[in-house]
Amino acid sequence: MRSQGPTSACPSMLPRNWELTAQPSKAPSSSFSCQALGSLCSPWAAPRVGPLPPAPAMVRISKPKTFQAYLDDCHRRYSCAHCRAHLANHDDLISKSFQGSQGRAYLFNSVVNVGCGPAEERVLLTGLHAVADIHCENCKTTLGWKYEQAFESSQKYKEGKYIIELNHMIKDNGWD
């Protein structure tokens, strides 16, 4: 192949931000105009294939607030007070007579949309326990903790259960 001269450019040699547009040609073969150079490309050169580079973002798009799990609408539930992510069904409530680090707390059998931190041993009001702090997966607020292990036999019923402090949750859906 011969070079087309210093003013021609092959599409594969163009910088990524230059586009090629098809131009009607008097010759039976198609030719392409390089918008940046204003010259004709070689008739043997193929137009660049693939996506164009992204346009510069003028508006920052934030991730939509979607929860990992949604609880049934026909049941009373508890939600995160900060972002309204569903946390637990009222049916999973075991006890309302617990004390958290910042006030009253509820003990739940199971929760959703909650992440756990690493377990650590803490001396609580009822003795030594291995607990892991829990946080809302949506807004990352620390909500309470999960009982991983109870060292006293009278406290074994708490293992695998969750404490959520009242100041971090609200009653949602179906409460009169």
* 143 within some domain: yes
Does residue 36 register a pLDDT over 70?
no
Mean pLDDT in residue range 60-75? 60
d(CA 97, CA 105): 7
- What number is the average pLDDT over the span 75-99? 92
CATH code at 154? 2.170.150.20
Beta bridge partners of 21: 33
Query: Is there a domain that residue 68 lies in?
Result: no
In a domain, 62, yes or no: no
* pLDDT, average across residues 136-158: 94
Domain contains 70: no
Quick check: is 28 in a domain?
Answer: yes
Q: Is 65 within a domain?
A: no
pLDDT of 56 reads: 58
% of the chain at pLDDT higher than 70: 57
Q: Decide: 108 and 88 in contact? Cβ < 8 Å.
A: yes
Confidence of residue 108 (pLDDT cuts 50, 70, 90): very high
Question: Do residues 90 and 43 both lie within one domain?
Answer: no
Give me the domain span that covers residue 8: 1-56
| Whether pLDDT at 140 is above 90 | yes
- Mean pLDDT within 158-167: 96
Domain count, the chain: 2
Dist CA 153 CA 19 (whole Å): 73
pLDDT at site 49: 60
Residues 52 and 90 in one domain: no
Does residue 45 sit within a domain? Answer: yes
* Residue 22 belongs to some domain of the structure: yes
DSSP string, the chain: -----TT---GGGS-TT--EEEE--SSSS-EEEETTT-SBPPTTPPPP-SPPPPPPPSSPPPPP---S----TTS-EEEETTT--EEEEGGGEEEEEEEETTEEEEEES--SSEEEEEEEEEEETTEEEEEEEEEETTT--EEEEEEEEESSGGGGGGTT-EEEEGGGEEEESS--
CB 114 within 8 A of CB 87: yes
**How confident is residue 173, by pLDDT bands cut at 50, 70 and 90?**
confident
